[in-house]
Amino acid sequence: MRNQLEPLIFEISSPGREAFTLPELGVPEVQLPEGYTRQQLNLPEVSELDFVRHYTHLSQMNYSIDTVFYPLGSCTMKYNPKVNEKAAAIEGLSQVHPLQPESTVQGSLQLMYELQEALKEIAGFAAVSLQPAAGAHGEFAGVLIMRAYHESRGDSKRTKMLIPDSAHGTNPASTAMSGYTVVELPSDERGNVDLEALKQECDDTVVGLMLTNPNTLGLFEEHVLEVCETIHNCGGLIYGDGANLNALMGITRPGDLGIDVLHFNLHKTFSTPHGGGGPGSGPVGVTENLAPFLPGPIAAKDDDGYKLVLPEQSIGRMKAFYGNYGVFIRAYTYIRMMGPDGLRAASEMAVLNANYLKARVAPHFPVAVERTCMHEFVSHGDVPGTDIITLDVAKRLIDLGFHPPTIYFPLIVHDALMIEPTETESKETLDAFAVAMTRIAEEARTNPQVLHDAPHITPVRRLDEAQAARKPVLCYKG
Ligand SMILES: *Cc1c(COP(=O)(O)O)cnc(C)c1O
C-alpha cells in the first residue's frame, strides 16, 4: 500500500510519454472537417504504469466498508455481501428494458412482488410500494399518502405535523415540502417523546406524528404504544421513519406497534452499498386503510402471472419507471440469503455489538442518555477539562484507521458522537476501535495539539466542509 503520509503528486506529466496504443486503422484514413480537431489539447502525458498508479492511488484514498470499520451512526454501514453483486449482474435482470411487455419480464416482476411481500412481513404492513428512491423520498411519499387519506375523508382542517426534536432533518423537510406546518416536540430526560407536550398539541388540526423508533439517540421509544394511541385518538396518523429497522428485524414490527406508514432504507437495513450519493431505495409500507393511496405502479399477481398496477386512489408516480431496480435485486438477495432467523440474528447482533462498544467507549466519552441502547449510541465528544471538541476526536480517528462516526447529530446533543457498529463487525474490530478511542482520550490530556492538527495522513487536512460540499473541485484543470 502507498505510504499515506506522502502527498499524492498530481503533476506527473512529461512530454512525449504515452499510455495508449491504438489498433491498426481498419478503414481508409480521411481528413476530419475543419473545426472538429484541435492542435492543442492540455492533457497530461504519462506512461501506462504512471497512469495505472495514479488511479490506483486515488482509489486507495476512498474510505469504504470494504477497507475500514465505518461506524457512521444512523447510516448502517454494514458489510455488503458480494453475492448481492453477483445476483445484480445476472443478465436476465440487468439487461431488460423498462418498456418491455410484461409477459417478457415475468421474472423481474416476480422479484419485485416477492420483495414487497417480504417487506410487508418484516415490518407488519398490508401493502408496500417500491417506488421511492431513498429514505427522504419515502418520507415525502408517506406524507403525501397521509394528506391523500385525510382529503379522501373531506377532513381539510388538518395542517400540523408533530415531529420530535430528535428527528432526522429529512422529517421536517418532507413535511414542509408537502405544505404542512412542523410542530417540534421536546424529548424527556430518558430520550423519549415528552408525553405531556404531545397531549397539549393533540387536536383536530393534527395531520400526524413522525416517529423514529429506535430514535436517533439509539433508544427504543418506551411509550410507543401510548404515543400512537394518543395520535390516533385525535384522528391523526403515525409516520414511522424506518431508517433504524436494523435494530428490530424479527423481534418486533412497526405495523404491530401502531405505525400507519413507514419507509424502509433498503440501502441501510438490507445491505446494499451506499454513500457518495446513492443509488438508494426507500420503499413505503402502509396499513390496509392507506393501501389505496400508495404510489405506483406496484407489482401484483393474478392467475395470468405478474403485472404492474396503480392503486385506485394512488398519489401517482414518485419516480421514472419502477424504482431503483438494481437495489431491489441486492436487498432481495440479502433477505433470501438471511431468511427470517438470519434477519433476527442480525438485529440481535447489531444491538449486542452496540452495547458492547458503548460499555468500552463510555468510560472515556460518556453517553448522552444512560440506558441500554439499541443498534447505536450517542456519546459526548467534547473532552471535559480540555479544549478538545467532537470534531478533533473525529478527525483523529482517521489517522488511527477508522471512518469517523456521525458527529453533531442528533442536534439535541450539542457535541454528539453517534456510533453505529452494525452486526457485521467482529469483536476484534470493536476492540481495536475502543483502543483508539481510549488513546484519543489520553491524547486530549497529554498531547492536545496532535488532535487539533488531525488528520495527519490525508492529502488535505482540515477543509472548509461547507465549501467543499457546495463548491467541490471535481475536474483536473492542468
Ligand atoms: C438515513 C436516514 C434518513 C434518510 O434516508 P436517505 O435514504 O438518506 O434519504 C431519514 N431518517 C433517518 C433516521 C436516517 O438515518
Instruction: Give yes or no for residue 46 having a pLDDT over 90.
Output: yes
The CB of 129 under 6 Å from ligand 1? The reply is: no
Would you say residue 3 has pLDDT above 60?
no
Percent of the chain clearing pLDDT 70 (strictly above): 97
Q: Is the pLDDT of residue 318 over 50?
A: yes
Pocket of ligand 1, candidates 72, 74, 216: which has the most ligand atoms within 8 Å of its Cβ, to mutate?
74
CATH 3.40.50.720 correct for 341-469:
no
* 328 within 8 A of 335, measured Cβ to Cβ: no
CA of 267 to the centre of ligand 1 (A): 10
Task: Name the closest-CA residue to atom 7, ligand 1.
Answer: 135
| pLDDT recorded at residue 8 | 60
Q: Is the CB of 136 under 6 A from ligand 1?
A: yes
Q: Is the CB of 166 under 6 A from ligand 1?
A: no
| 3-state secondary structure (DSSP) of residue 267 | helix
Residue 255 alpha carbon to ligand 1 centre in Å: 19
Q: Are 366 and 380 in contact (CB under 8 A)?
A: yes
Q: For residues 437 and 455, what is the distance between their CA atoms, to the nearest angstrom? A: 15
**CB of 382 closer than 6 A to ligand 1?**
no
Q: Residue 268 C-alpha to ligand 1 middle, in angstroms? A: 9
Helix (H, G, I), strand (E, B) or coil at 321: coil
Beta carbon of 265 within 6 Å of any ligand 1 atom:
yes
3-state secondary structure 432-477: HHHHHHHHHHHHHHHCHHHHHCCCCCCCCCCCCHHHHHHCCCCCCC
Summarised one tens digit per residue, pLDDT across range 405-452 is 999 999 999 999 999 999 999 999 999 999 999 999 999 999 999 999
Domain ranges of the chain: 83-338, 341-469
* Selection from 396, 398, 401, 406 nearest residue 376 by Cα: 406
Quote the mean pLDDT of the chain.
94
Residue 95, Cβ density class (10 Å: 0-12 exposed, 13-18 middle, ≥19 buried): exposed
Residue type, 320: A
Residue 258, sorted as left (phi over 0), alpha (psi -120 to 50) or beta, turns out to be: left
Residue 74, ligand 1, Cβ within 6 A: yes
Pocket of ligand 1 contains residue 241 by CB under 6 Å:
yes
Q: Kindly report, residue by residue over 357-372, the tens digit of the pLDDT.
A: 999 999 999 999 999 9
Among protein residues, the one whose CA lies closest to atom 14 of ligand 1: 243
Other CB atoms within 10 A of residue 431 CB: 13
Cβ–ligand 1 contact at 135 (below 6 Å): yes
How far does the centroid of ligand 1 lie from the alpha carbon of residue 165, in Å? 15
pTM summary value: 0.92
Residue 473: predicted pLDDT:
82
Tens-place pLDDT, residues 328-385: 999 999 999 999 999 999 999 999 999 999 999 999 999 999 999 999 999 999 999 9
Nearest atom in ligand 1 to 136's CA: 9
Most ligand 1 atoms within 8 A of CB, residue of 143, 168, 248 to mutate: 168
Contact (CB, 8 A) for 180 and 209: no
End-to-end CA distance of the chain: 27
Among the four given CATH numbers 1.50.10.10, 3.40.640.10, 3.40.190.10, 3.90.550.10, the one describing domain 83-338: 3.40.640.10
Nearest to 387 by CA among 427, 319, 444: 444
The residue whose CA is least distant from atom 5 of ligand 1 is 135
**CA atoms of 88 and 330, how far apart (whole Å):** 6
Whole-angstrom CA distances from 83 to 96, 113, 217, 264, 390 are 20, 21, 33, 21, 37
Q: What is the pLDDT of residue 108?
A: 98
Taking alpha carbons only, the member of 374, 410, 372 closest to residue 390 is 410
> Is residue 272 in contact with ligand 1, taking CB distance under 6 Å?
no
Residue 72's beta-bridge partner residues?
Answer: 419
Instruction: Check if 280 has its Cβ closer than 6 Å to any atom of ligand 1.
Output: yes
Closest approach atom of ligand 1 to CA 139: 10
Give one DSSP letter per residue of 355-376, joined into a string: HHHHHHHTTTS-BSS-S--SS-
- Residue 268 per-residue DSSP state: H
- What are the cell numbers at 339? 431468511
CA-wise closest residue to 74 among 275, 372, 329, 346: 275
Q: Does the beta carbon of 245 lie inside 6 Å of ligand 1?
A: no
> For residue 381, which of 354, 404, 351 has the smallest C-alpha distance?
404
